[in-house]
Amino acid sequence: MRRFTGGTLVAVTFLALAGLMPSTAAGDPVADFYRGKSIGMVIATAPGGDYDLRARLVARHMGRHIPGNPAIVPRNMPGGVGLQAANYMATVAEKDGTALHAIMQNMSTHQALGGGGVEYDTRKFFWIGNTTDTPNTIAAWHATGIRTIQDAMVRELVIGAPGTATASVYYPKSLNEVAGTKFKIVTGYPGGNPVNLAMERGEVGGRINSWASWKATKPDWLQDKKIFMLVQVALKRHPELSDVPTVIELAKTDADKAVMTFLSADIPISRAFVTTPGVPAERVQALRRAFDATMKDPQFLAEAAKLNFDISPSTGEEAQKFSDLIANTPAPVLARAKAIIEGK
């Protein structure tokens, strides 16, 4: 057994107190901050859809990867098709890292287009990570008889859309202009599930939805061929939709291809999470690394598989780059996009 003399013991004690020797009592400031706290997870949609179910899945698992192990408490905040929740994060939520947001993917695009009601700046959010780069799709209900995008170029297809200034409106309007489709858009539905019901009742013949959401929430429709994917909004074809064209492929001119690329640029942030401006850098890093660890967590992945969720994650740093790229789109492309969408 090693023994200290009185003088040696005093010297060791002095060095430890002076910070010259490692001390097991040293705390982690991030863990100290989060210990005993809860993080609010703001979800921009009503319960039951892919955004909601996916956010709740992340909330169940991510807390144990954050230093201090805070609980994550989901809270739905639908309104304005994502605007209310994004504005809340920018103007009301605590700026200390105790608020996360499952942000709707079109918020950067809506901001870049000068959309109404914007009180946020997606460049000032800290992006924590993204769970999938699933494409959006325009799908036709089987009873319409429309099976391909070429069918929609010769026959009218009524599309149901939540809100009035969302991707569910931008996509079909743009395709009508650049590809000659005959989509008729019925707006104002309060969410995606009401549009699904409208399709079943024959009120509308199709809708825009992500491929991941179709797989997670309506696998029976896919299996029973109740819906047909006409086109995908993506920078490249998804492997599971290799026979479905992208909106970029349907554009005929370079200028229109640039517009459709702009409208497809939010696909790499399809299901992303952000926190507020003003969060200290060490907490942002802790949240980002906790998200990355969650995406590899066997318990998380097992539950995601049971729910039929596509998990193709990207880091917060990667998501931030895509968001900034959209928000900083060159003015000529934005002008052409606005002209198409506004029918001018």
* In-domain check, residue 307: yes
pLDDT of residue 191: 82
Residues 284 and 238 grouped into a single domain = no
Q: What is the value of pTM for the model shown?
A: 0.81
Residues 185 and 219 grouped into a single domain = yes
pLDDT of residue 319: 96
Give the domain CATH number at 47: 3.40.190.150
Residues 318 and 207 grouped into a single domain = no
Residues 278 and 260 grouped into a single domain = no
pLDDT of residue 344: 65
* In-domain check, residue 114: yes
User: Nearest CA to 283 among 66, 85, 102, 15?
Assistant: 66
pLDDT of residue 202: 96
Structurally, the chain folds into a number of domains equal to 2
* In-domain check, residue 343: no
User: Residue 308: which region, alpha, beta or left (left: phi > 0; alpha: psi -120 to 50)?
Assistant: left
What proportions of the chain, in percent to the nearest 5, are helix, strand and coil? 45, 15, 35
**Angle, alpha carbons 27-58-228 (nearest 5°):** 160
Q: Find how far residue 233's CA is from the centre of its chain.
A: 14
Report how far residue 61's alpha carbon sits from residue 294's, in angstroms, rounded to the nearest whole number: 7
Residues 253 and 240 grouped into a single domain = yes
Residues 232 and 296 grouped into a single domain = no
Local confidence pLDDT in tens for the 344 residues of the chain: 444 444 444 444 443 444 443 433 458 999 999 999 999 999 999 898 889 999 999 999 999 999 999 999 999 999 988 999 999 999 999 999 999 999 999 899 999 999 899 999 999 999 999 999 999 999 999 999 999 999 999 999 999 998 777 888 989 999 999 999 999 999 989 888 899 999 999 999 999 999 989 998 999 999 999 999 999 999 999 999 999 999 999 999 999 999 999 999 999 999 999 999 999 999 999 999 999 999 999 999 999 999 989 999 999 999 999 999 998 899 999 999 988 888 76
Residues 107 and 149 grouped into a single domain = no
pLDDT of residue 26: 56
Residues 150 and 261 grouped into a single domain = yes
Residues 126 and 227 grouped into a single domain = no
* In-domain check, residue 324: yes
pLDDT of residue 86: 98
Kind plus residue range of the DSSP H or E element containing 177: helix 167-178
Residue in the block written with tokens 């809506």 = 110
* In-domain check, residue 341: no
pLDDT of residue 165: 75
Residues 240 and 301 grouped into a single domain = no
Bridge-partner residues for 41, per DSSP? 74, 100
Domain boundary, last residue among 218, 244, 266: 266
**Backbone phi, psi, residue 38, to 5°:** -125, 155
Residues 200 and 301 grouped into a single domain = no
pLDDT of residue 98: 98
Residues 51 and 164 grouped into a single domain = no
Domain limits for position 115: 36-132+271-330
pLDDT of residue 280: 98
What distances in angstroms separate CA 143 from CA 64, 204, 231, 290, one per listed residue? Answer: 47, 10, 18, 45
Give the domain CATH number at 222: 3.40.190.10
